[in-house]
Amino acid sequence: MGSSDEKVVAVIMVGGPTKGTRFRPLSLNIPKPLFPLAGQPMVHHPISACKKIPNLAQIYLVGFYEEREFALYVSSISNELKVPVRYLREDKPHGSAGCLYNFRDIIMEDSPSQIFLLNCDVCCSFPLPEMLEAHRKYGGMGTILVSKFGELVADPVTNEVLHYTERPETFVSDRINCGVYVFTPDIFAAIQDVSRHRKDSANLRRVSSFEALQSATKSLPSDFVRLDQDILTPLAGKKQLYTYETMDFWEQIKTPGMSLKCSGLYLHQFSFTSPHLLASGDGTKSATIVGDVYIHPSAKIHPSSKIGPNVSISANARVGAGARLINCIVLDDVEIKENAVVIHSIVGWKSSIGKWSRVQAEGEYNAKLGITILGESVTVEDEVVVIKSIVLPNKTLNVSVQEEIIL
């Protein structure tokens, strides 16, 4: 059991340019963690959740992006939330646990008793204070946030993790690792043990040049330590690893389709946690709003348009008379002209959709062409229909297309 004044830090893993390839063409313009979901950058949601952790001393973002790509956001979010946020850039891949160890001296500067570790590309309600309370009661080294169906088996009474398998090919249990953890600083010793063991094994293999050749492709660098395989799996069943189950929503944000789904999940969460962020209107003096909708204050929406449900409209966007928007993300500086329709789509920065045009899909979030995506500065001319297609930046469409990827 920890005392109430013990300090806590949070580490959010944001990945890097090579990690966001499945997020193209949207990640061509902006680091994936800064892509807006429900009007806020993806990483904003876990950061704002961390703000609710008692005695939070610092939030660290760890990734491969250039520091300049995060400098402005880190500065603004630190001022907004009144919590120190710092970006730490990895010089080379160290693995999900190795990156934690690589920055251990910085992370431990505030002498925290608990360390949260979160993946940036997970979408959930982040019940972090409740998870921390449970973690302290368990008295183990780590606690994993879990949801239904997955890869780990836990004791139904104590919630101890008894068996852990990353990405099982057969059914193992009904609980899945949500990519949110809290550890004691003992995690650093566990990572160091793996690293030392790997280094010792590498030295032993040098006995025979033939053996070294055989194992060269199999062995990992000693400072590359994976959280799932190298740390969590060995800890299972040793009264060191426990679970905290969330009954709320949980998704991974690996693709643009899932970002649209998760934007809707966050918008719905706002209706309970931050209703002031959601738009309202009945079509008299402002647009008719249906369901959960976010509209940036600088956006200009015609009163005769109808917006929602699950729509997020970013800065300086313009929506014309009679336009209809359903389940879509509209990014900065987009113009949607009179009587245009946008359904199950993401409309990229500075794009334009002409009068009486339709941009739509079927909303199958995991399908390759389940949503329509317009990259930056795409022009859809008047009376053109774009269905279940992906259009890369700087293209002009003057004919209708269906189920196409336009390079």
Given a contact cutoff of 8 angstroms between Cβ atoms, the answer to whether 214 and 232 are in contact is no
Q: What is the pLDDT of residues 290-305, one digit of tens each?
A: 999 999 999 999 999 9
Query: Reduced to 3 states, what is the DSSP secondary structure of residue 287?
Result: coil
- Structure tokens that stand for 107 in this block: 């992370």
Query: Tell me: the pLDDT tens digits for 111-140?
Result: 999 999 999 999 999 999 999 999 999 999
- Tally Cβ neighbours within 10 Å of residue 265: 21
DSSP 276: G
pTM: 0.88
* pLDDT in 10s for each residue of the chain, 407 residues: 455 578 999 999 998 876 556 788 888 888 999 999 999 999 999 999 999 999 999 999 999 999 999 999 999 999 998 999 999 999 888 888 888 999 999 999 999 999 999 999 999 999 999 999 999 999 999 999 998 654 455 556 676 666 555 544 433 445 688 999 999 999 999 999 887 877 666 555 555 554 554 444 356 777 788 888 888 888 888 888 999 988 888 999 989 999 999 999 999 999 999 999 999 988 888 999 999 999 999 999 999 999 999 999 999 999 999 999 999 999 999 999 999 999 999 999 999 999 999 999 999 998 889 999 999 999 999 999 999 999 999 999 999 999 999 98
**Residue range 193-202, pLDDT digits in tens:** 887 877 666 5
Beta strands per DSSP E along 314-371: 318-319, 324-330, 335-336, 341-347, 352-353, 358-360
For the chain, give the longest Cα–Cα distance.
82
Q: How far from the centroid of its chain's Cα atoms is residue 71's Cα?
A: 19
